[in-house]
Structure 1
Amino acid sequence: MGKTHPTDRDTLREFEHEWSPYHRVLRQQYKPHLECLFGQVRNFADAGGIQNSTDPMNAHLISIMLAQECWIVALEEGVSAVEEQVNTTPA
């Protein structure tokens, strides 16, 4: 049987291509951040492919949000560790 939907990686390449004019006119300082978002989607492409959604944008956006959530939790854990260290250090 043939595939009824393009792969998640194919839709990501198309997504990046569609947004290339946006990327092109972004200020230089923001371009790495947009590229990072695309990278986050690539990190979860296997899960997005299993989802096999008729609208791949949903999987792309969930992938970005999941990566951002993981980053937030890691930052919060780092802050908690520093706070704990500060609170247990004798003055």
Structure 2
Amino acid sequence: MGRTNLTYRELLRAMEDRWADYRRALRQDDQVAFDQLFEHARGYADAAGIQNHQSVEVAVLFSVVLAHQQRLDTLQERLDALEDDLNATE
């Protein structure tokens, strides 16, 4: 017997297909950013699949927010290090 429920990755692909017209209407640089959001969602596919939430959109949005938080933390660490270096030279 096969699975009756679609996997998170399959649901994510379907969601991306549903948003294809929206993506096409975006400017080129916004299309790149749009694609990056789905890359973030794919990056957390294992965790989202385990969560098995009823709404794939919730898992996608949470994955995107988590990826952005990671990026924000990295940038904050870099900024703190630069400020420390600047203060040390003063």
Higher helix share: 2
Q: Same fold by TM-score, threshold 0.5 exceeded?
A: yes
Partners of 1:37 and 1:64 within 8 A in 2: yes
TM-score (norm 2): 0.94
Task: Please list every run of 5 or more consecutive structure 1 residues that lacks an aligned counterpart in the other structure.
Answer: none
Give distance in 1, aligned partners of 2:50 and 2:20. Answer: 26
1:24-76: per-residue Cα shift (whole Å, max 9, x none)? 01011211100000000000000000011111111111000000000101011
Cα pair distance change 1:73/1:62, threshold 3 Å: same
What residue in structure 2 maps to residue 82 of structure 1?
82
Give distance in 1, aligned partners of 2:36 and 2:20. Answer: 14
Letter in 2 for 1:9: R
Q: Report how many residues are paired.
A: 90
What residue in structure 2 maps to residue 41 of structure 1?
41
Is the aligned partner of 1:61 residue 2:66?
Answer: no
* Superposition RMSD in Å: 1.2
TM-score (norm 1): 0.93
Give distance in 1, aligned partners of 2:11 and 2:85. Answer: 45
Q: What does 1:14-29 correspond to in 2, within 5 Å?
A: 14-29=14-29
Give distance in 2, aligned partners of 1:44 and 1:88. Answer: 39
SS in 1 for 2:5: coil
| Percent identity for Structure 1 against Structure 2 | 39
SS in 2 for 1:53: coil
